[in-house]
Amino acid sequence: MSKKMVIITNEKFFNLDGKFSCDNVAEKSLPDELKNNFKIEIIGRKSQIKQAHQLETKNINACSNIFSYILRIFKERNENNSVYLILSITPLTFLSACILSFFKKKIFTYLRSNGHEEYKKIIGSIGSKIYNIMFNYISKKSILISCRKHILMGKKGFVVEPSELDENWNKNTFEKNIDKFKLLYVGRVKVEKGIYSLDNLLLSLNSNIFLTIVGSDKNRKKLKYNKIKMYPIESDQQKLINFYDECDIFILPSFTEGHPMVLLEALSRLRPVIIFRDIEHIVGNKKGVFVSERNAESFFKILNLIKKNYNSIQKEMKQNILPKKKDFIDAFSRIVVSEIL
């Protein structure tokens, strides 16, 4: 297909001799896979630090400030054979949507999480109101694609099932016995991800529970629980799989989630998952996911329930039918193609 797709994102990209990297695997995976169907260009922000995931995509405009970013968007008004894909709603991508819609460009907006909840968690109730203004405008000016129906907030749009799983995630899985609690969290250390809440919860338990975090960064606030091992973002697939295999239970403490890739990764490796009531909507018909209240008594009860029934839980988890990355990309491409023909 000769159609050009310009991906507009708030993600930061590091440029080393024309090779770009970013920290969010979805920001790498989506353009790298869509390039088989579209001519891809990315407009994002510039990073001064090398990031974890190297992109195959080469045509990336990593803008150093808001002015160069908006200027790049403004220059797109002269492109007549392009469609525009906005990844998540932020003040920067919202401003981009305003410019592109003014020039009547074809815009798609991909929503991967509930921005109302995220903004509220980060900056309070005013955050939800700010997001609502941006969301309502973008929903009128673009075609919405989301990973969950409820994220569309009643607006018209398409729903897809994101996935990073390929055939390697199902190879050499194994059952195991659990003799102590080795927990794993894969993700960024941010307030809205619930990691500080989990830190306080583990402190209150004062038990023999070990937590491994994959995805930490140097700028994080210090966690207090003393049985934590921290590792940077892991871009090597086999090494990441090994982290899942070495743990007993995967923990996803987020306050808000849309369609977390890490949940699928944990389930594919037959590791039971604990989440909290805030995001119980992600369970669906998946086996091996346990919902806890965000308090020590409920959390410890779930831990012991999993430990007692670990082998039978793993056997049930083998019945899960998990979405694959290829199916996700094919569905995403079909939506875009059908809307531009």
The values of phi and psi at residue 333, to 5°, are -65, -40
**CATH number of residue 41's parent domain:** 3.40.50.2000
Task: Name the domain count of the chain.
Answer: 2
Closest CA to 178 of 290, 267, 316, 310: 310
Indicate whether 159 and 172 sit together in one domain.
no
pLDDT, average across residues 74-86: 88
pLDDT, average across residues 183-207: 90
Residue 305 CB neighbours (<10 A): 14
pLDDT, tens digit, 9 for 90 and up, residues 282-316: 998 999 999 999 999 999 999 999 999 999 999 99
> So what's the pLDDT on residue 221?
66
SS (H, E, C) 60-111: EEEECCHHHHHHHHHHHHHCCCEEEEEECCCHHHHHHHHHHHHCCCEEEEEE
Indicate whether 23 and 136 sit together in one domain.
yes
What does the buried/exposed string (b/e) look like for 254-266 if buried means 16 or more CB atoms within 10 Å of the residue's CB? Answer: bbbbbbbbbbbbb
Indicate whether 330 and 257 sit together in one domain.
no
- Is pTM beyond 0.85? Reply is yes
pLDDT, tens digit, 9 for 90 and up, residues 108-136: 999 988 888 788 877 888 888 999 999 99
Indicate whether 92 and 228 sit together in one domain.
no
Indicate whether 42 and 64 sit together in one domain.
yes
Asked if residues 252 and 288 have their Cβ atoms less than 8 Å apart, the reply is no
Domain that holds residue 16: 4-163+326-340
Indicate whether 193 and 307 sit together in one domain.
yes
Indicate whether 124 and 177 sit together in one domain.
no
pLDDT at 206 over 80: no
| Residues in contact with 195: Cβ distance below 8 Å, sequence separation at least 6, in sequence order | 185, 187, 189, 213, 223, 253
Indicate whether 202 and 287 sit together in one domain.
yes
* Helix (H), strand (E) at residue 117: helix 115-123
> So what's the pLDDT on residue 339?
93
Token pair for 89: 């709603």
pLDDT at 276 over 60: yes
Indicate whether 115 and 157 sit together in one domain.
yes
> So what's the pLDDT on residue 247?
96
Indicate whether 225 and 76 sit together in one domain.
no
Indicate whether 125 and 140 sit together in one domain.
yes
Indicate whether 8 and 149 sit together in one domain.
yes
